[in-house]
Structure 1
Amino acid sequence: MNEKFQTDLFNVTSSFPYEIPAFKEFSGLSWTVASVFLGIAYLTHAHFYHGLNKVPGPFLASVTSLWKWYIVRQEQMPFRNTELHEKYGPVVRIGPNHVSASSAESIMVVHRHGGKSGFTKSGIYGILQPRYEGTDLHNVFSTQDATYHAALKRTMGSLYTTTAVSGLEYHLDDCTHLFMSKMNGIIGSGKSAPVDMAAWLQYYAFDSLGAVNFSKMLGFMDAGKDVDGICHLDHEQMMYFAVWGQITTVERTWAGLKKLVTGARKENPLFNFALKLVQDRQANPNNETDMLNTFLDLHKAAPEKFTIRDVIAAAYINVVTAHDVVAITLRAVVYYLAKNPEMQKKLQKEITDAVEQGQLSNPAKYSEITSMKYLLAVTNEALRIHPSTGLILERRTPKGGTMLHGKFIPEGTIIGVNCWVVNRDKGIFGQDADSFRPERWIDSNPADITKMRTNVFTFGAGARNCIGKNLAMMQLTKIIVELYRNFDLTLQYPDKEWTVSGGWLTRQSDMEMIITSRG
């Protein structure tokens, strides 16, 4: 464009004083139209992404992950998830690329038969992995690498058999003695006393895991309080995982930006706590029979298969995740038995009869407990009706996608079964699945009991099921026997419902109780 032409163009446009404002107005309108168009295009793309619009669910959930982020932040996901499945059926869309499934078929497809080891875990589990020496510390629970998980489970699986964990039973006896002593101390010279049972069961769970793993109770029962705020920190951290796990890209980006700007990395106080216990043992070896020494012995025998990083990871995950399963289930037991006094009496009669027949030691041995039908029914029912996990156990649909309940779920879709929902499936557990009824595990016909055992999802299913299930069952049943052998438990405020946190974990609070000595 030459200089004369530029001058002429300027002169022409300058002679129309109203054209420039009109042009500016048109430009602003264009941007508005373009923004609206782009917004509609995004919403349309998100809603119809990979054909997932054919999977029913809330419209808002289909276009933004902020829907489930908000629900989890409100600690309501297991309850909303249940409502959605009641409304829409066994397959529900809860995010632009997220599907919640709930049925026996879903467990089979997603968690058992999805390839040799089930569908692989999603990116949410990466947030659960602490950082150690500059990289994520993989563990048997959170690793997304199916090959690594299979190798690790083969290497350490024998450490968690019923026979193996029975060698750790004496640690639990020590914890039980202390718990009973503390309860008697709270009662004092009277017959009964109020107690914050939700807190005390958390203390027992933490201390018993400390004893089993490190031959060292962690001081909660002894102090009768949350030592160093560890229980509070644990809850905060698990809520962080739950909330920001709904938008993992945002979380990783924000964590990286914060580190870049401030030079500070995201701290994991519970990992630091577990790491110190491992480092103390390395610096001061002993001959105690506990999980940590078993891990260290395995490392010495096969350092290339079970590295020191694997030792640290196993110690961390054993304490941090396992104690919540125990505490949450124990709270469910005492709460529902207090709500159903006739069931509490039935359990106490079974215990009393076993004592009178000389079939129960003091404290009870796990080998004696495994024949107590009603006790096991109570434990299984608590695990069923109040599983410790409130979100879907996320998996990624493999190449080629999969069919589920007549819906095609394309590859790359995040899909998972929610324990809270499937454990209340009336097609599996009966029309009274929303009720606490231990008798279902005894009185139902054998085929139905097998169906229930196969599909109760609290410990997961398939290759990624909970490796510590046998240890957890021993912890649960031993303390339940001694608690109800020695005490009656009633709700201090019978008409008051407890509070349940509906995040990654379904922790309970507000369950003040009256403990009464049976002696």
Structure 2
Amino acid sequence: MASLFTFLPIILLALICLRLLANWRKLSKAPGPTFAGCSDLWRAYQQCKGRLREKILDLHAQHGPIVRYGVKSISISDPEIIAIVYGSRAGFVTADSYKVLVGIQNGKEVPSLVSTADETRHGALRRSVANAFTPTAVLDYEKWIDATIEELLITVSKKKTFDLSSMTLWYTMDAAGRFAFGEPLGCLQVEGDVGDSIQLVRDRFNHWGWWSSLPQLEKLLYRNPISIRQSRTPSRMAAKALAKLKERTGESKDNTGYTDLLQRFLEASKDHPQLDTPGIIGMLMSTISGAGDTTASTVVAVIFNLMKNPESLKKLEDELLQANLPAIPEFAQVSKLPYLNAVVKEGMRLFTVSTWPMERLVPAGGVTIVGMFFPEGTTVGCLPLAVHHNSKVFGEDAHIYRPERWLTSDREQLRQMEAAHMGFSRGRRNCMGQNIAVLQMKKVIPALLMKFKLSLSDPEASLEADYSPAVAYLKPLYVTSQPKR
């Protein structure tokens, strides 16, 4: 008996080592850290420390277009992956890392548009709300964005120095509340979070980021029979949306005077039963969540790069001056301004909010990508920033801020860059709200730059962010503001 207890730890250690070795051998042909191939604990540790994004970029710089960052996780930086993996009929589905994002209501899991792995359900839900996000439809929301920009300009006019990251986030959250259900959350008014709305969104992305590497463990801890039945108090944001929905449904059915997403969803619910009350609230919350940090961070990134590059800022200011725009320009007046378009695309290219590759599962039969075969069940995807640094597409200066690259007369080069740009993801799961985001950005950036002379309080400041959540959160960026005469 004593000898059994002596050898038991040795046997267990041997079994663990054999399991780790078996994990590593599955994709040993793909370069990457040995421990990353043995256990997903390496990936989980790097993500929780906010370093996974940078580690993957370093691996690509060292090993090329294919690298391994997990037991079954492969990152590919060649733009060829976009059509293969994210194409509408490619057969790839979302990886297990998305399962931790699935919401829980009344003791049941309720997948959202982003988290559902069922392509049939995803397609049906996406089609049911698609008309609310078309380029024509989003023009109906422009008045809501105008009202929020006006409030933003008034708030900034009272400041000599302020945190651009927070100010812009308050703006995007208030604008989202307005175009979602016709009422701002009130963040700009109080200059802070209202009802923990921002924190609620961030808690969701924190959970996704921290547990994305270990979805089986997350399921054990948070989706067991006891945890899943715990009651959760609706957020103030969700409660406000629900109150608005009940108010609308209690009014005359002939009332069509509202121009916001809630009204669009209510109209769509007549033909799409999946848009019941929980479905509509879920779509509204997803839209607000997606329109917060992501849009705000992009706006800040664009303005930051302009402040760091005075020549580019001067070119944009000249373009805006020549366009003879009002204080809050109409989208039709700015949507096709060449240099504005270039600085927005370049800002999105160099700062992406994704903190790990957008993962998909290889379907039955496996697939060959960039000359390497991957068996069924392998997780493949690309980190957008890694693709955006591809010198074959964006030139030898791919790491450098240069908006002029988007003004090239070389149509083939422009086509390749457009095809490799992943600011709003790609394929059937691209960002549905991208038309709203573009409208917001191309209106608020000119409005700020025409009214104020903005400069970095610290000329040596850099654009810092927390990369441990699924979506990067910008850290404070203080700017000095002077009204233009």
TM over 0.5: yes
SS in 2 for 1:54: coil
SS in 2 for 1:488: strand
Letter in 2 for 1:95: G
Q: Work out the CA distance in 2 between the residues paired with 1:182 and 1:334.
A: 18
Q: Work out the CA distance in 2 between the residues paired with 1:56 and 1:461.
A: 26
Structure 2 residue 465 is matched with structure 1 residue 500:
yes
Aligned-residue offset at 1:39: 2.2
TM-score, normalised via structure 1 length: 0.88
Counterpart in 2 of 1:454? 419
Counterpart in 2 of 1:385? 350
Structure 2 residue 306 is matched with structure 1 residue 337:
yes
Aligned-residue offset at 1:98: 1.2
TM-score, normalised via structure 2 length: 0.94
Structure 2 residue 485 is matched with structure 1 residue 510:
no
SS in 2 for 1:427: helix
Q: Work out the CA distance in 2 between the residues paired with 1:262 and 1:318.
A: 24
Aligned-residue offset at 1:318: 0.2
Structure 2 residue 333 is matched with structure 1 residue 368:
yes
Equivalent in 41, 52, 55 of residue 30 of structure 2: 55
Counterpart in 2 of 1:15? none
SS in 1 for 2:286: helix
SS in 1 for 2:329: coil
Structure 2 runs not aligned, ≥5 long: 252-256
Q: Work out the CA distance in 2 between the residues paired with 1:387 and 1:487.
A: 26
What per-residue deviation string (whole Å, max 9, x for no partner) do you get for residues 226-248 of structure 1?
22343234334312210111101
Letter in 1 for 2:321: T
Do the aligned residues in 2 keep the contact of 1:392 with 1:418 (CA within 8 Å)? yes
Aligned-residue offset at 1:438: 0.9
Letter in 1 for 2:280: V
Letter in 1 for 2:264: T
Do the aligned residues in 1 keep the contact of 2:195 with 2:237 (CA within 8 Å)? no
Q: Work out the CA distance in 2 between the residues paired with 1:314 and 1:497.
A: 35
Letter in 2 for 1:74: K
Change (3 A) 1:260 1:481: same
Counterpart in 2 of 1:8? none
Equivalent in 92, 101, 105 of residue 128 of structure 1: 101
Letter in 2 for 1:294: R
Do the aligned residues in 2 keep the contact of 1:204 with 1:220 (CA within 8 Å)? yes
Letter in 2 for 1:79: E
Q: Work out the CA distance in 2 between the residues paired with 1:54 and 1:171.
A: 53
Q: Work out the CA distance in 2 between the residues paired with 1:281 and 1:235.
A: 24
Structure 1 runs not aligned, ≥5 long: 1-22, 187-192
Counterpart in 2 of 1:226? 193
What per-residue deviation string (whole Å, max 9, x for no partner) do you get for residues 202-250 of structure 1?
0001011111111111101111122234323433431221011110110
Question: How do 1:151-300 residues align onto structure 2 when only pairs under 5 Å count?
Answer: 151-186=124-159, 193-257=160-224, 260=226, 264=230, 267=232, 272-285=235-248, 287-299=257-269
Change (3 A) 1:385 1:262: closer
Do the aligned residues in 1 keep the contact of 2:452 with 2:483 (CA within 8 Å)? yes
Q: Work out the CA distance in 2 between the residues paired with 1:37 and 1:147.
A: 44
Runs (4 or more) in structure 1 with deviation over 6 Å come to none
Q: Work out the CA distance in 1 between the residues paired with 2:226 and 2:115.
A: 26
Equivalent in 37, 46, 50 of residue 71 of structure 1: 46
Aligned-residue offset at 1:126: 2.3
SS in 2 for 1:513: strand
Q: Work out the CA distance in 2 between the residues paired with 1:444 and 1:487.
A: 33
Counterpart in 1 of 2:16? 39
Aligned-residue offset at 1:432: 1.1
SS in 1 for 2:144: helix
Aligned-residue offset at 1:28: 4.0
Do the aligned residues in 2 keep the contact of 1:489 with 1:514 (CA within 8 Å)? yes
Q: Which stretch of the first structure deviates more once superposed, 423-432 or 64-73?
A: 423-432
Question: How do 1:416-435 residues align onto structure 2 when only pairs under 5 Å count?
Answer: 416-435=381-400
State percent identity of aligned pairs. Answer: 26
Do the aligned residues in 2 keep the contact of 1:389 with 1:458 (CA within 8 Å)? no
Aligned-residue offset at 1:104: 1.0
Counterpart in 2 of 1:5? none
Do the aligned residues in 1 keep the contact of 2:307 with 2:456 (CA within 8 Å)? yes
Aligned-residue offset at 1:305: 5.1
- Give the aligned length: 477
Q: Work out the CA distance in 1 between the residues paired with 2:226 and 2:196.
A: 29
Aligned-residue offset at 1:262: 11
Change (3 A) 1:310 1:232: closer
Q: Work out the CA distance in 2 between the residues paired with 1:400 and 1:389.
A: 29
Letter in 1 for 2:209: A
Q: Work out the CA distance in 2 between the residues paired with 1:274 and 1:129.
A: 19
Counterpart in 2 of 1:322? 291
Equivalent in 97, 113, 120 of residue 147 of structure 1: 120
Do the aligned residues in 1 keep the contact of 2:342 with 2:407 (CA within 8 Å)? yes
What per-residue deviation string (whole Å, max 9, x for no partner) do you get for residues 77-105 of structure 1?
22111101111211111111111121111
Do the aligned residues in 1 keep the contact of 2:166 with 2:476 (CA within 8 Å)? no
SS in 2 for 1:53: coil
Change (3 A) 1:444 1:42: farther
Change (3 A) 1:263 1:136: closer
Counterpart in 1 of 2:79? 104
Aligned-residue offset at 1:388: 1.6
Letter in 2 for 1:170: K
Letter in 2 for 1:27: L
Q: Work out the CA distance in 2 between the residues paired with 1:218 and 1:32.
A: 57
Do the aligned residues in 2 keep the contact of 1:180 with 1:483 (CA within 8 Å)? yes
Aligned-residue offset at 1:169: 0.5
Do the aligned residues in 1 keep the contact of 2:60 with 2:67 (CA within 8 Å)? yes
Change (3 A) 1:262 1:208: closer
